[in-house]
Amino acid sequence: MEGILGRKLGMTQIYSQDGRVVPVTIVQAGPCLVVQRRTSDRDGYEAVQLGLVEERPARGVSKPMQGHFNKAGVSPMKRLVEFSVGADEEWEEGDQVKASIFNEEEYVDVIGDSKGKGFQGVIKRHGFGGGRATHGSMFHRAPGSIGQASDPSRVFPGVKLPGRMGGKRVTVKNLRVEKVDEEKNLLYLRGSVPGPRNGYLHIRRAKKG
């Protein structure tokens, strides 16, 4: 199994065996259920569709999706995602996937949606220095020149300007698994992961680790 679905619980710190303090993010990884198995004969590729089991059941499920879950014999779930598997791996609808698929000292990639900051200026969005704050200056947080006047008489694409900040899909690569709590389905990942607390995450084995 390549990966699992989870939720970010928050950050803390633990001590390594040599006494060093390690900042970690605690992720509730699973349990997940296999909703559909895709095969190369029928679908053209090998994968499994996982759904994250949560305390509160999904509401407002459409009739087509309700039939999709009934076919697999599982309860409706909010989050579904596909992970590739090998052709020789035997996964069937209804099988449970837990955090125990990962091992300590393994490296993973974490995918999530970053925190949305709304419309922001260039100082917060791009880290501009800004102008003088004293001596009658009227240029404090403005972006400054963004192009030429007569030639080429336009603003080139890619100029750093104010706009919406955050709220995008972010992938953090090669995070080390410091600890695996199999009983509570918790992963302790070194460093930070994108998104707010209780945000949904895709945890998969590192592709370039």
Q: How confident is the model at residue 175 (pLDDT cuts 50, 70, 90)?
A: very high
pLDDT at 209: 67
pTM summary value: 0.81
Q: How confident is the model at residue 73 (pLDDT cuts 50, 70, 90)?
A: confident
Distance of CA 3 to CAs 69, 109, 112, 148, Å?
21, 9, 14, 50
pLDDT at 98: 87
Find the mean pLDDT for residues 54-74: 85
Under a CB-based contact definition with an 8 Å cutoff, are residues 123 and 161 in contact?
Answer: no
**Over the stretch 1-24, which tens digit does the pLDDT of each residue have?**
788 999 999 999 988 888 889 999
Q: How confident is the model at residue 135 (pLDDT cuts 50, 70, 90)?
A: very high
Question: What gap in Å lies between CA 209 and CA 207, rounded to an integer?
Answer: 6
Domains annotated on the chain, with CATH: 3-102+177-201 (3.30.160.810)
Q: How far from chain centre, in Å, is Cα 83?
A: 14
Q: Which of 17-26, 99-108, 119-128 has the highest mean pLDDT?
A: 119-128
Find the mean pLDDT for residues 108-115: 93
pLDDT at 58: 81
Q: How confident is the model at residue 91 (pLDDT cuts 50, 70, 90)?
A: confident
Q: Which of 30, 22, 28, 24 is nearest to 4 (CA)?
A: 30
Buried b / exposed e along 52-75 (16+ C-beta atoms within 10 A): bbbeeeeeebeeeeeebbeebebe
Find the mean pLDDT for residues 15-40: 88
**Over the stretch 137-162, which tens digit does the pLDDT of each residue have?**
999 999 988 988 888 889 999 999 99
> Sign of dihedral through CA atoms 181, 182, 186, 187?
positive
pLDDT at 40: 86
> Sign of dihedral through CA atoms 67, 169, 26, 49?
positive
Chain mean pLDDT for the chain: 89
